[in-house]
Amino acid sequence: MPAHDGGSNSGISAGGDVRIDASTVALNHSTAITEAPAETDREAAIAELRTAVRLLTEQLRSSQDRYEDGAELVEAAEHVEAELTREEPRRNALLRWLGFIAPGVQTTAAVAADVAAIQSSVTSLL
């Protein structure tokens, strides 16, 4: 194990598409914030979360026939999108819908990683 030189933290690369840097975890092309951001960053983080959920919804919509409950997964993702348009999104509602989506997409590793990253972001942001 290499000795720590006391210099700046350049993050941790866990191999593959996983990278941990300060309070952010990047999985493939998804990012999860692991600690609450400063209030000034919160709005930007929620905007990024909205984008991530929009992309997830599009991905589920385009491949819904690959999943046993494809139509329900798309509907749940649409509920998440709608909740994120509220002035104050409800954390429990978001986690409930994401909790429905997560087991339904386990057969697709990239989508499952995206859902996990979104769940982590919701947990830390709201």
Report if residue 80 sits inside a domain.
yes
Is the per-residue pLDDT at 25 higher than 70? no
Q: Could you read off the pLDDT of 46-95 as tens digits, one per residue?
A: 899 999 999 999 999 999 999 999 999 999 999 999 999 998 899 999 99
Q: What is the helix (H) or strand (E) element at residue 90, kind and residue range?
A: none
Q: What is the pTM of this model?
A: 0.66
Cα–chain center distance at 14? 18
Instruction: Count structural domains, the chain.
Output: 1
- Domain with 72, as residue range(s), is 38-125
Residue 121 falls inside a structural domain: yes
Alpha helices (runs of H) in 1-126, residue ranges in sequence order: 39-62, 70-84, 91-104, 109-125
Q: Please report the pLDDT score of residue 3 as a whole number.
A: 44
86 phi/psi in degrees, rounded to 5: -65, 155
